[in-house]
Amino acid sequence: MNFIPLVGRVLFALIFVLAGPGHFTRERIAHAAALGVPLANVLVPLSGILALARGLSLAFGFHARWGAWALVVFLVPVTLAMHPFWTIADPAQRQVQLIMFLKKRASRLEHSDLTAHPRLALRSDRASAGAPL
């Protein structure tokens, strides 16, 4: 069995598992509110729960397809709301937000791949022999 995809999936999921608790801090909620996120006191902690739950889902392969889709749906509005690089006048800050925006976009693309192949990391050598997965 090739463990590299499994390790990659777990490390990718770890991004969301580790980020989840940060969504409960006053600083993160205040930052979202300053960017105009409505009901930031509710939505930011809720997004932390979603990130943690779906990251764990992806890491353990438990309903990985649903977990990946939930993260895709989660990342689209979050990326647009939290990284509006097109509205920032300061070139340095615009660059930082553009990089963050592109990182989230790349993350969505990875999730899209996982929604198409949720058990990618669980495939065995039988796949290379042409046996059904």
- Sign of the torsion angle spanned by Cα atoms 82, 28, 64, 12: positive
Task: State pLDDT tens for residues 51-105.
Answer: 898 888 888 888 877 777 777 777 778 778 888 888 889 999 889 888 888 877 6
Give the dihedral of Cα atoms 8, 12, 13, 15; nearest 10 deg.
150
* Of residues 94, 89, 24, the one with CA closest to residue 52: 24
Q: Give me the residue label for tokens 């022999």.
A: 129
User: Predicted confidence band at 110 (pLDDT cuts at 50, 70, 90)?
Assistant: low
Task: State pLDDT tens for residues 4-51.
Answer: 878 888 888 898 899 899 999 999 999 889 888 889 999 999 989 988
Cβ–Cβ under 8 Å, residues 53 and 59: no
Cβ–Cβ under 8 Å, residues 40 and 56: no
